[in-house]
């Protein structure tokens, strides 16, 4: 069993930055690929980034490549998403998730999800 809790969301002006955190529990956390997704009202859940168990390999959606950075601290069972140059279209609920099989880019490949944290970017 893996439990995930996101934090760090909030209101920020366009061009600003936020860092999201995802605190995980469970012995297997450090062995899992972890991902970040977001969902805006009326839209499907969108893949943003994933990081392998060691943190040495990461994967990004084109929409956030160069602006967002995923990282992890296995000693503290935490995954981060640093978001820079934020845009109003980045407004959404952001979720972290634990991957259990299949493509990193699909939400169906992730078995455990946090409750989400709201990010609002004002213009």
- Under a CB-based contact definition with an 8 Å cutoff, are residues 32 and 98 in contact? yes
8-47 pLDDT, tens per residue? 999 999 999 999 999 999 888 888 999 999 999 999 999 9
pLDDT in the model for residue 83: 98
Tokens for 34, please give them.
Answer: 């972890």
Q: What is the pLDDT of residue 27?
A: 80
The pLDDT tens digits for 56-90 are 999 999 999 999 999 999 999 999 999 999 999 99
Short-list 32, 75, 34, CA closest to 58: 34
Is 1's pLDDT higher than 90? no
């Amino acid at each position: 069993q893996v439990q995930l809790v996101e934090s760090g969301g909030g209101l920020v002006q366009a061009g600003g930055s936020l860092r999201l955190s995802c605190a995980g529990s469970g012995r297997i956390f450090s062995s899992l690929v972890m991902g970040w997704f977001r969902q805006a009202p009326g839209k499907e859940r969108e893949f943003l980034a994933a990081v392998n168990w060691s943190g040495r390999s990461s994967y990004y959606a084109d929409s956030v490549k160069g602006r967002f950075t995923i990282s992890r601290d296995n000693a503290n069972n935490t995954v981060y998403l640093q978001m820079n140059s934020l845009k109003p279209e980045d407004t959404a609920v952001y979720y972290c998730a634990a991957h259990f099989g299949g493509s990193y880019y699909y939400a169906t490949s992730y078995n455990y999800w946090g409750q989400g944290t709201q990010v609002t970017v004002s213009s």
